[in-house]
Amino acid sequence: MKNKAITDREVDFAQWYTDVVKAAHLAEYSNVKGCIVFEPNGYAIWEKMQSVLDKMFKETGHQNVYMPMFIPESLLKKEGELIEGFAPECAWVTQGGAGNALEERMAVRPTSETLFSDYYSSKINSYRDLPKLYNQWCNVVRWEKETRPFLRTREFLWQEGHTIHETAKEAEEETLRMLNVYKTFFEEYLAIPAITGRKTEKEKFAGAEYTYTIESLMYNGVALQSGTTHYFGQKFSKAYDIKFLNRNNQQEYVYQTSWGVTTRMIGALIMVHSDENGLVLPPKIAPRQVAIVPIGNDEQIVQLANSICDKLKASGVTAFVDTTDRTPGYKFAEHEVNGIPVRVELGKRDFENGVITLARRDTREKITVDMNCDIVNEVKTLLDNIQSNLYDRALKRRDELTYVCQNMEEVEKIMNTKPGFVKAMWCGDQECELKMKEIRGTKSRCILENEEPVGDKCVCCGKKAKHLVVWGIQY
Amino acid sequence: MKNKAITDREVDFAQWYTDVVKAAHLAEYSNVKGCIVFEPNGYAIWEKMQSVLDKMFKETGHQNVYMPMFIPESLLKKEGELIEGFAPECAWVTQGGAGNALEERMAVRPTSETLFSDYYSSKINSYRDLPKLYNQWCNVVRWEKETRPFLRTREFLWQEGHTIHETAKEAEEETLRMLNVYKTFFEEYLAIPAITGRKTEKEKFAGAEYTYTIESLMYNGVALQSGTTHYFGQKFSKAYDIKFLNRNNQQEYVYQTSWGVTTRMIGALIMVHSDENGLVLPPKIAPRQVAIVPIGNDEQIVQLANSICDKLKASGVTAFVDTTDRTPGYKFAEHEVNGIPVRVELGKRDFENGVITLARRDTREKITVDMNCDIVNEVKTLLDNIQSNLYDRALKRRDELTYVCQNMEEVEKIMNTKPGFVKAMWCGDQECELKMKEIRGTKSRCILENEEPVGDKCVCCGKKAKHLVVWGIQY
């Protein structure tokens, strides 16, 4: 039985995506252009992501802070490349109080390098004050023209880490450390295989010396930039005058990084794992892992439901009993569309036969277990299986949609039929990047620094290649 | 030994407050007028407050959501009283993208009744959809002229609950339920005695039918509005057309509430408990409860420190060992100014004598315990004692500064010498409220509905009194 509110993913992927967002009550369009309402089911996923990541950040020595959301224009302008990159995307506050014009307009933060730099410049004196490893969870605004729920909205939620260090080496290590934290989070929690590498000059962050990225592939073969970490060197510290007395008793500018992931990850979860029956969530990120549905009002069955629920909760599984006044079929469909990984069905006939039915969301299989089994262990094993099955399935899909190309004809053929990640050699010229873009907007995703080359000639111009690059059509 | 960076609280309370904020590294002024930087020590207190309150909200059936931060002017204007109340305090976004003027300006949310109402109006059909018990954690902006860290800043952090109900009774119960959640939080976690009651017509929230408030008294006798819950009746549901089909199959407007507390609570913590040596934090809200300081480098002592730390952490106490390269005196002063409730000192002589020294922050007493005692139990008992001592101390102070007045001369004398809460009868006329305000800005804090009257004549005009009111000088 298929959920009728959801379009077939193979027929119209964009519509399917919107249908899943709606049907699973993740978000709703708002009357504020380009902004969405995060509904309880959607926000709960973000809360879960935050709690896992925040722990990982703290374990790697980071502390949370909170900076103002407004940036005076003059402060934003101090670093030239940053303002160039972001000025076309800013929302500006020009009036405050009873309609009074401000002396200086202020941008609503599109990112907070400027504010962190300004703060650090007044706080750092000596190498003893370093490093500072700060992060903040907040909302940011980028004035996008085309928006899609979670993937691209004018306001979104994210975390932004901003660190300063005594040496370039330490800062570069930090840039890689956080890239690996993101990779771990994607693979172990979101069950999404992640490619990591360096952005080309054209695609790097405005103002960064270089940018690392984590790239994932959606079910339809489109690539999603899923998180970035930036090494700034001394670019911002020179622009904002963040100096310290180094160990040789000399004034030196600090070395800086920033890194961030956003609510876009909810979009990635949908587009990698979900299906025609709605949301599919990896158990490790699902706000609710197990729905227990007693069928009918039999006192013994309701008791059994509650006892299973208590046992699961005591062992750290987030479970709930659904005793709402609706038919079992309605409940099953709802828990399915909401992506709850495991459903425990307690029917009268099963009860009489001494068994319990477990339904897994990923494959929609049903499993029968003995009523006297170690139910906590059964459910936990099943949750683990679902977690690894989702990862394996996503990896298989990505591998199927990953190609090696030697020339533009091959790239064109793939991107026009069954797109995905294209691995191909590149000479390093931006001109070739621009030519690739003519093929359905194909962009370099990242330079793979630790992989064997797949040839020696640029896929575009045929000249001597410098880098192995992953290309893809971008969200 | 007194912390020299901190002004005497009895000499200049305002300066003392600023000194504590700075010395404990809670916040820093920013280059954005009226906005502060929440530094790690300050933000960690907010995180702790969030985690406790969020649990209390979820236990009372609430779910978190996230609404856009911008409110189009036309949407804001739908409810007349609200826009009247907030228009003079709004920051307005008038340009978006490459400096383009927006067709309609948007306020940065000063509060989100409008957005929740707009959302609800499109989502609610029948009584089966009710209640909706939503909350959001976010930043809001109010264009204040005079600002003070935590107490009044142009941008601040808060939570705002917005609920809709089938009946007036349910909504009124919710308004009281959340007031009691706040009261519990203040008394049991912040160790701050709280007075709760109803605001007068003059002091209630713009657009509310009535407002409950929780009021606390600072060390210097000034009153702080510390949290509010509002009953809207059908005011917003009529303005925003939030209708549902009721159980009699008729269209009806929902009954609505909202409630919120803010980062101002950090200011309250400072002004109620802290002293000339810096921050004092109740253990239940302290991000770090125990600092363990091994004195010297003796391997055995460092081992003991680590073992005590592990035991404390295993039992749920947030402890850390300070092995940084600084003198013990420096460390003691720092942990003290940061308000860490208990310090465990491990000195060589103590070690040889088989004892450990515990220093409590609230009274600055030192206690010696046997090295072979149940240290976890000793520390936990001490933390409990500190928690209740702080509450008792604050209650004693508040009771000392709470007066009963029968006429204006008495009020004037108190407010001009040793101000505090004044309990006095009131006739209900705004004119009398305005006259009270002439006495150093004394305002009605709230109407006490469940207390015995202290007379029968209005403290101001002498006419027949209607209400017992608590008055105070407001922050």
Structural domain includes residue A6: no
- Asked if residue B175 and residue B95 are part of one domain, the reply reads yes
Of the CA atoms within 13 Å of residue A219, those in its CB half-sphere come to 23
Structural domain includes residue B7: no
pLDDT, mean of residues B174-183: 98
At B1, the pLDDT band (50, 70, 90 cuts) reads low
| Contacts (Cβ under 8 Å, ≥6 apart) of A314 | none
Closest residue in A to B101 (Cα–Cα): A92
Instruction: Give the best residue of B93, B114, B117, B128 to mutate against chain A (max A CB count within 10 A).
Output: B93
Residue-level pLDDT at B265 = 98
- Asked if residue A221 and residue A311 are part of one domain, the reply reads no
Residue-level pLDDT at A1 = 59
Q: Using the 3D structure, point to which of B316, B349, B382 is the last residue of a domain.
A: B382
- Asked if residue A197 and residue A135 are part of one domain, the reply reads yes
CA–CA–CA angle B115, B117, B123 (5° rounding): 105
- Asked if residue A313 and residue A438 are part of one domain, the reply reads no
CA–CA distance, A263 with A45 (Å, rounded to integer):
9
Structural domain includes residue B332: yes
List, in sequence order, every beta strand (DSSP E) within B20-112.
27-29, 36-38, 63-64, 70-72, 91-96, 100-108
Residue that is written with structure tokens 């060589």 in the block: B348
Residue-level pLDDT at A296 = 84
- Asked if residue B20 and residue B145 are part of one domain, the reply reads yes
Question: Which residue among B40, B69, B99 places its CB closest to the CB of A65?
Answer: B40
Partners of residue A64 in chain B, C-beta under 8 Å? 40, 43-44, 47
Structural domain includes residue A213: yes
CA–CA distance, B199 with B25 (Å, rounded to integer):
35
User: In angstroms, what CA-CA distances link B179 with B76, B114, B199, B420, B467?
Assistant: 26, 22, 13, 23, 20
Please check whether residue B89 touches A, CB under 8 A: yes
What kind and span of H or E run contains B358? strand B355-360
Question: Minimal CA–CA distance to B79: which of B27, B130, B32, B116?
Answer: B116
**pLDDT tens track for B292-302:** 999 988 999 99
Partners of residue A116 in chain B, C-beta under 8 Å? none
Rounded to a whole number of angstroms, the distance from the CA of B345 to the nearest CA of chain A is 25
Instruction: Give the best residue of B92, B112, B126, B288 to mutate against chain A (max A CB count within 10 A).
Output: B92
CATH of the domain at B311: 3.40.50.800
The residue type at A44: A
User: Residue B345 pLDDT > 90, yes or no?
Assistant: yes
Partners of residue A36 in chain B, C-beta under 8 Å? 68
Q: Could A43 and B36 be called an inter-chain contact, meaning their C-beta atoms sit closer than 8 Å?
A: no
Output the 3-class SS for A154-216.
Answer: CEEEEEEEEEEECCHHHHHHHHHHHHHHHHHHHHHHCCCCCEEEECCCCCCCCCCCEEEEEEE
- Asked if residue A48 and residue A192 are part of one domain, the reply reads yes
Closest residue in A to B47 (Cα–Cα): A64
CA–CA distance, B395 with A324 (Å, rounded to integer):
45
- Asked if residue A414 and residue A269 are part of one domain, the reply reads no
Percent of chain B residues past pLDDT 90, beyond the cut: 93
CA–CA distance, A212 with B411 (Å, rounded to integer):
66
User: In angstroms, what CA-CA distances link B203 with B194, B343, B349, B434?
Assistant: 18, 44, 60, 11
- Asked if residue A227 and residue A338 are part of one domain, the reply reads no
Rounded to a whole number of angstroms, the distance from the CA of A37 to the nearest CA of chain B is 5
Structural domain includes residue B362: yes
Question: Which residue among A35, A38, A141 places its CB closest to the CB of B65?
Answer: A38
Output the 3-class SS for A297-355.
Answer: CCHHHHHHHHHHHHHHHHCCCCEEECCCCCCHHHHHHHHHHCCCCEEEEECHHHHHHCE
| Contacts (Cβ under 8 Å, ≥6 apart) of A52 | A185, A189, A284, A285
- Asked if residue B217 and residue B89 are part of one domain, the reply reads yes
Count of A-B CB contacts under 8 Å: 152
Other beta carbons less than 10 A from residue B47's beta carbon = 17
Chain A (372-401) residues lying within 8 Å, Cβ to Cβ, of chain B: none
Chain B (131-150) residues lying within 8 Å, Cβ to Cβ, of chain A: 134, 138-139, 141, 143, 145
Please check whether residue A201 touches B, CB under 8 A: no
Q: Could A40 and B65 be called an inter-chain contact, meaning their C-beta atoms sit closer than 8 Å?
A: yes
Structural domain includes residue A362: yes
What kind and span of H or E run contains A116? helix A113-123
Q: Using the 3D structure, point to which of B242, B273, B304 is the last residue of a domain.
A: B273
Give A427-461 as a DSSP string: -S-HHHHHHHHTTTTEEEEEE-SSS--S-SB-TTT
Please check whether residue A266 touches B, CB under 8 A: no
**Cis peptide bond prior to A341, omega within 30° of 0:** no
At B84, the pLDDT band (50, 70, 90 cuts) reads confident
pLDDT, mean of residues B387-398: 98
Residue-level pLDDT at B99 = 66
Residue-level pLDDT at B359 = 98
Question: Minimal CA–CA distance to A52: which of A211, A192, A182, A208?
Answer: A182
Q: Using the 3D structure, point to which of A216, A247, A273 is the last residue of a domain.
A: A273
Please check whether residue B12 touches A, CB under 8 A: no
| SS3 call for B286 | coil
CA–CA distance, A390 with A190 (Å, rounded to integer):
9
Pairing of strands A290-294, A342-346: parallel
Instruction: Quote the domain boundaries for residue A177.
Output: 13-273
Residue-level pLDDT at B355 = 96
Partners of residue A51 in chain B, C-beta under 8 Å? none
- Asked if residue A325 and residue A208 are part of one domain, the reply reads no
Rounded to a whole number of angstroms, the distance from the CA of A73 to the nearest CA of chain B is 11
Rounded to a whole number of angstroms, the distance from the CA of A419 to the nearest CA of chain B is 32
CA–CA distance, B395 with B420 (Å, rounded to integer):
13
Closest residue in B to A116 (Cα–Cα): B37
Question: Which residue among B30, B94, B155 places its CB closest to the CB of A92?
Answer: B94
Contact (Cβ atoms closer than 8 angstroms) between residue A108 and residue A90: yes
Partners of residue B87 in chain A, C-beta under 8 Å? 98-99
Q: What is the pLDDT along chain A (475 residues), one digit of tens a residue?
A: 578 889 999 999 999 999 999 999 999 999 899 999 999 999 999 999 999 999 999 999 999 999 999 999 999 998 888 888 888 899 999 999 876 899 999 999 999 999 999 999 999 999 999 999 999 999 999 999 899 999 999 999 999 999 999 999 999 999 999 999 999 999 999 999 999 999 999 999 988 999 999 999 999 999 999 999 999 999 999 999 999 999 999 999 999 999 999 999 999 999 999 999 999 999 999 999 999 999 988 999 999 999 999 999 999 999 999 999 899 999 999 999 999 999 999 999 999 999 999 999 999 999 999 999 999 999 999 999 999 999 999 999 999 999 999 999 999 999 999 999 999 999 999 999 999 999 999 999 999 999 999 999 999 999 999 999 999 999 8
| Contacts (Cβ under 8 Å, ≥6 apart) of B384 | B283
Structural domain includes residue B156: yes
CATH of the domain at A131: 3.30.930.10
Helices B264-273 & B40-59 angle (0-180, nearest 10): 110
Question: Minimal CA–CA distance to A190: which of A275, A263, A295, A83?
Answer: A263
CA–CA distance, A345 with A356 (Å, rounded to integer):
7
Please check whether residue A63 touches B, CB under 8 A: yes
User: Residue B341 pLDDT > 70, yes or no?
Assistant: yes
Q: Could A94 and B94 be called an inter-chain contact, meaning their C-beta atoms sit closer than 8 Å?
A: yes
Q: Give strand pairing partners of A389.
A: none
Question: Minimal CA–CA distance to A50: which of B47, B56, B264?
Answer: B47
Domain count, chain B: 3
User: Residue B131 pLDDT > 80, yes or no?
Assistant: yes
Please check whether residue A101 touches B, CB under 8 A: no
Please check whether residue B105 touches A, CB under 8 A: yes
CA–CA distance, B183 with B186 (Å, rounded to integer):
5
Please check whether residue B68 touches A, CB under 8 A: yes
Give B52-72 as a DSSP string: HHHHHHHHTT-EE-B--SEEE
Closest residue in B to A90 (Cα–Cα): B97
CA–CA–CA angle B89, B92, B96 (5° rounding): 165
Partners of residue B154 in chain A, C-beta under 8 Å? 96
Structural domain includes residue A462: yes
Closest residue in B to A143 (Cα–Cα): B97
CATH of the domain at A457: 3.30.110.30
ipTM: 0.96
Instruction: Give the best residue of B38, B47, B54, B65 to mutate against chain A (max A CB count within 10 A).
Output: B65
CA–CA distance, B43 with A266 (Å, rounded to integer):
26
Please check whether residue A31 touches B, CB under 8 A: yes
Q: Could B89 and A69 be called an inter-chain contact, meaning their C-beta atoms sit closer than 8 Å?
A: no
CA–CA distance, A333 with A24 (Å, rounded to integer):
11
- Asked if residue A214 and residue A135 are part of one domain, the reply reads yes
Residue-level pLDDT at A79 = 83
Partners of residue B47 in chain A, C-beta under 8 Å? 64
- Asked if residue A306 and residue A239 are part of one domain, the reply reads no
Question: Minimal CA–CA distance to B192: which of B228, B223, B160?
Answer: B223
CA–CA distance, A388 with A284 (Å, rounded to integer):
10
User: Residue B3 pLDDT > 90, yes or no?
Assistant: no
Partners of residue A91 in chain B, C-beta under 8 Å? 70, 93, 95-96
Helices and strands (DSSP H and E) totals, chain B: 14, 23
